Structure 1
Amino acid sequence: MKKLALVLVIIGALNWGLIGLFQFDLVATIFGGGSQEGVFARIIYTVVGIAGLISIAFLFDSNRD
């Protein structure tokens, strides 16, 4: 579960990097036809957001791998 959350957070971070540098939203392009209003794009954004919330727990995890 931790690795999946980490992968999703990395995907989100890369997407935000693309938005910041090139104003290009890869998730919206792939899953929403270039629009952030697409249903699949919104699902991906939600899943990545949940992964981010789960990843907050890594800050307080005393059992580091």
Structure 2
Amino acid sequence: MTTLRRIALALVIIGAINWGLIGLFRFDLVAAIFGGQTAGLSRLVYTLVGLSGLICLSYFFDGDTEEVARDREVDQQARTNTTNQPNYGTEFAEEPDLDKLYNPSQETYEKDKE
């Protein structure tokens, strides 16, 4: 995500919080901070929030951003690389001889054979 889009998204969130406060409590936070709705700084913030909303409209039309395409590619590779064969090995040691674990009499058989 580019820096411009992050800034735009942050300003849209600020605008959404401000509209929520207006709707719930009839309190305009931007106007309270910057000296009223007609103050220059308040108008600047309102303008930036409006422009940010227009920039964020592009999110609706981004079918495949680079991040989504990369995630899909990684998922596709993971699906093709996996097999249905279980892996009984460990990363620290060789595979144990399961015959000796499950059939201890075989070990005695081998000793008798020598």
**Structure 1 length normalisation: TM-score?**
0.91
Q: Quick one: distance in 2 between partners of 1:59 and 1:28? A: 30
* Matched length: 63
Write 1 or 2 for the structure with the bigger share of helix.
1
Q: CA deviation at 1:24?
A: 0.3
Distance 2:61 2:17 in 1: 24
Structure 1 segments (4+ residues) deviating >6 Å: none
Between the two structures, name the one with larger relative contact order (CA 8 Å, sep ≥ 6).
1
5+ residue gaps, structure 1, are none
Match of 1:58 in 2: 59
Alignment match, 2:49: 48
CA 1:19/1:61 → structure 2, altered by over 3 Å: closer, same or farther?
same
Select the structure of larger CA radius of gyration.
2
Percent identity of the aligned residues? 56
CA-based RMSD of the aligned residues comes to 1.1
Equivalent residue runs for 1:17-56 within 5 Å: 17-31=20-34, 33=35, 35-56=36-57
The one-letter code sitting in structure 2 at the alignment partner of 1:58 is Y
Q: Which segments of 5 or more consecutive residues in structure 2 lack a partner in the other structure?
A: 68-114
The residue that corresponds to 2:12 in the other structure is: 9
TM-score, normalising length: structure 2: 0.53
List per-residue Cα deviations over 1:8-59 (Å, max 9, x = no partner).
000000000000000000001111x2x2111100000000000000000011
Cα distance change of structure 1 residues 15 and 64 upon mapping to structure 2, 3 Å threshold:
farther
